[in-house]
Each structure stands twice: as C-alpha cells, then as structure tokens.
Amino acid sequence: MSTHTTSSPNTIATQERRGLHLESDWHLEIDTRELRWESYVKAGYYGVLNNYFTSASALPQPADILVTGTVPPGSGVSSSAAMVVASTLAFLAVNGKLDETDPAKRLTKGQLVTMSVDNEKRVGVNSGGMDQAASILSTANSALYISFFPSLAAELVTLPTTVSATQEEEAVFVCANSLVVSDKVVGAKTRYNLRVVENLLAARLLSTHLGLPATFYTSSLTPHRPTLREVVSAFLTRRYPDAVEPFSEQCLESGLEMFLEEVEVLRGDTVRLAVGLPPLQDERESGLTLDEIVKASEMDQETFREVYLSWVDVEATYFQLYKRARHIITESLRVLEFRSLCRAASASSTTTNLPTLEALGMLMNGSQESCSKSYDCSCPELDQLTQICRDSGALGSRLTGAGWGGCTVSLVPSSHVDTFIQSVKEQYPGYRGLSEEKINEAVFATRPGSGASVYKLTD
C-alpha cells in the first residue's frame, strides 16, 4: 500500500504579516470538527511553513497537489499518517528544502518524523508518532522496532522462516478489514485522546507512589507531563544506579517486570483506600473519578487542571488508569519478546523456526486480548474477525492501528495464505453481499515495504 503525490505551482496558503516579522503561525483553516482529506494535506504543509518561512522576505512556492494511493481510509493502517508524510515531503521538495548536496538543506529522517507528528496534531489527534515513524523509516522485507525514548531510534527486525524438506517458507502478514470505520478524530474525547490523558495520569500517580521526581514545568514555564516511559526510566535508574539510557534489553525487560508489580497500586479501590476514601467494590472498582485522581496526585486543583486538562478535551466519568497502564507495560514486554525471538531465530542454524513463529503468533493473540479487555480499543467486529482469522489458520491475529474498527493483521505461513484468505472471506459476516472487488480490497496479503521517498521527474 502506498500514497503518491505530485506537485506543481499554484496558491495554497496565506498569512498576515506586519513589517519584517510574522504575527503568528501560518493558518490554513483546518476545521477539526469537519475534517476532509484536504485537511491532512494542509496539516503536512504546516511544518514546512513554520520551520522554513518565518520572515516577511521568505515566501513559499505555491503548489497544486495530485494525490493517488492504495491505503484505505479509516481502516487502521495509517492512512492519515501516509497523507501527512506525503504532503510534508511534497511541500519540502517543491520548495527546494531537500537538496542533499547542501548541508543546510539536509533533513534527517528523524527530523521528518518529528515534523510529521507535529503536523498531524493540527487535525486534533495527539499522535505518539508510531505511524509517522513507520511511514518514514521502514525498509523492505523487514519489520521495524521503534523506540522514542530517550530519542528516536529504529532497528530492523527480520522475521523467521521455516525450512521443510522441499522448500523454505516465510511468514506473511495478512490484513483483513473489519469495515468498521476507525476515525481517530471523531470520538477523540472519549477514545484516542482520552487514552493519552489516562496514560499521563497513570504516570503521575505512579511517580507519586514511587517517590520519583515529577517536574510540571520546563524552564520556559511550559507545562510538562511526565510519560509512563519517563517514569519507567526514573524507576530503572533508581533500581540500577549504574545503568544509563538506552537501557540494555535485559535491564529493560527485568525493570518492566518489576514496574508491572507497582502498577497494581492504580487499582481504583487501592487508590481510594490510600487517600482515605471508601472502596466501591463493584464494577467501577478499577476506575477513578477526576476528583479522586486529583487527591491522589498531591496537586492542587488549579495546577492539576492546567497541566493535564487545559490542552485537550476529554470526557469520562471513570478514568481507567490501572487497565491502561497494565496494557502499556505488558504490551512493551510483548514487543521486546517479539524482537528477542526474531533475533534468536536469525542467529540460529536450526532448520525450522516453526515453534518461533507459533510463539510470535501467541504474542499477537495476547496483544489483541489486552487491547480488547485492558485498553478497550477493540470492538465486537474486530474481536470476531481476529477469532475467525485464528480459526482459519493464522498463527496469531490482532487489531492494527488505533483500534475501534479498521484492520486486523494476522501472521500466516505463506503456503496457507490462499486458503486462509478464502476462509476469512467466507466466514466474516461483514463481507456478505460485497462484490469480489470490494472483498479483495478488504483482505490481502502484504510484506514490509520501504518508507517514504521523493522522486524528481524530469522532462
């Protein structure tokens, strides 16, 4: 799947200026209440304008943009990131900001990731950067292990193959679209952005419980909200004084296992008892009200709201801090184990890696279970479709993308792909009544491809 853009001169953006200085950032009139695909194109232009055209003498090159691609929208396969990255690159190229022969114009992939993440926030989604990083850093025929702390880093991960008496066989990822539209912007208050806030609040309460330092403001008085990863880092530094970031794999894994035990303090009734409130002892037990969180945070109401609620709109009666934090830590452990299994298989001289592939599939299944029960980002259709995929021969199956609809991804031996796809097509109720063309667009095998690039056309 891919997104392609071509560009030619025209008018796209304007800004009010006074004298030699900009009065504010560029404005491209993105209405987050009614997003269209042009909104994501405009979002891609923001970083270019605000990073490279900051004086009255610097004017951008107008451009027409033609877009074509095969990434299905709203399906959890990073269609919005693909559009933002493609438009960001197109505007950089048309404005001559990608000249590799000029050190001043040499943009690193890491810088492009950061710019693209900031750009996508313009449409109202507080993205963590995984989609943009994958869109930019991916390499053909390899999975990608991406870390963001203490800085962006990527490692190629080769998937194992199995060798039979007659042939070498590789594992293939098969995408199956639930056809439930997954729009991160629509419902962000109660879904995507709410998860961001719940994770940050979990980090705050854990840092308080563990007696770790928590800085609320930077030197410029900008509110700083420590993330779970930062709290984990402080926790590991205290446990292992000689360890420094980036932590070794063994240190990180053992530290996360220990940290997982600390997450238990986030259970709703545990927090209530700790701050002198009576337990609920019912189905709400694991959740916390905002007033309960404020009390447990040891912050005053005004500071708490300014730091955690003034920058994003969320809606919830009970915030599920325990479930969200548990998912994040266990998912991190699954990712590390996935990478470790792939590394071991690549270094092994054994003639078969089928047990390894089966273990990878089990990790994917565990991830789906956690996404559904702990992070609550699945939906009935995704739960049903992943089960159908497993029953049809997948070694493992989970949702992909933000969740709440969109695609599943399944690990399938290449020799079984055709029968697997046919079985899924026949069993999933959402495909009934669709044309063969539409079904083929919904279920397809795929292999890792290369990340974003620019091709300059000549006459």
CB–CB of 356/391 below 8 Å? no
Domain annotation covers residue 246: no
Give, in order, the Cα–Cα distances in Å from 163 to each of 166, 300, 345, 366.
Answer: 8, 62, 12, 26
Domain annotation covers residue 59: yes
Name the 3-class secondary structure at 381.
helix
Name the 3-class secondary structure at 64.
strand
Domain annotation covers residue 283: no
Helix (H) or strand (E) holding 155: strand 153-157
Question: What single letter denotes the amino acid at residue 73?
Answer: P
Q: Tokens in use for 94? A: 């048309």
Which pLDDT does position 180 carry in this prediction?
94
Domain annotation covers residue 346: no
Nearest Cα to Cα of residue 202 among 231, 167, 179: 231
Helix (H) or strand (E) holding 3: strand 3-8
Per-residue pLDDT 10s for the chain (459 aa) are: 555 555 443 444 445 444 434 445 677 778 777 777 888 888 888 888 888 887 766 788 888 888 888 777 766 677 888 889 999 999 999 988 887 777 777 788 999 999 998 888 888 777 778 889 999 999 998 999 999 888 889 999 998 887 655 566 788 999 999 999 877 777 889 999 999 999 999 999 999 999 987 666 565 666 778 899 999 999 999 999 988 888 998 999 999 999 999 999 999 999 999 999 998 877 666 799 999 999 999 999 999 999 999 989 999 999 999 999 999 999 999 999 999 999 998 877 565 678 999 999 999 999 999 999 999 999 999 999 999 999 999 999 999 988 999 999 999 999 999 999 999 999 999 999 999 999 999 999 998 889 999 988 776
Within 10 angstroms of residue 89's Cβ, the number of other Cβ atoms is: 25
Write down the residue that tokens 């963001």 correspond to.
148
Domain annotation covers residue 234: no
Q: Give residues with Cβ within 8 angstroms of 396, minimum separation 6.
A: 360, 361, 362, 363, 364, 365, 390, 410, 411
Name the 3-class secondary structure at 101.
coil
Domain annotation covers residue 106: yes
CA atoms within 13 A on the CB side of 246: 10
Instruction: Determine the structural domain holding residue 74 and report its residue range.
Output: 3-137
CA atoms within 13 A on the CB side of 272: 16
Q: Give residues with Cβ within 8 angstroms of 149, minimum separation 6.
A: 227, 229, 230, 233, 245
Give residue 111's region: left, alpha or beta (phi > 0; psi -120 to 50): alpha
Distance CA 422, CA 329 (A): 36
Q: Give residues with Cβ within 8 angstroms of 132, minimum separation 6.
A: 81, 84, 85, 113, 116, 117, 120
Distance CA 140, CA 40 (A): 26
**β-bridge mates for residue 3, sequence order:** 69
CA atoms within 13 A on the CB side of 299: 23
Catalytic residue flag (residue 313):
no
Which pLDDT does position 8 carry in this prediction?
42
Domain annotation covers residue 27: yes
CATH assignment at residue 81? 3.30.230.10
Domain annotation covers residue 65: yes
Dihedrals φ, ψ of 176, to 5°? -135, 120
Which pLDDT does position 10 carry in this prediction?
40
Question: CA angle, corner 10, sides to 9 and 13, nearest 5?
Answer: 120
What's the number of domains the chain is made of?
1
Catalytic residue among 118, 131, 183, 383: 131
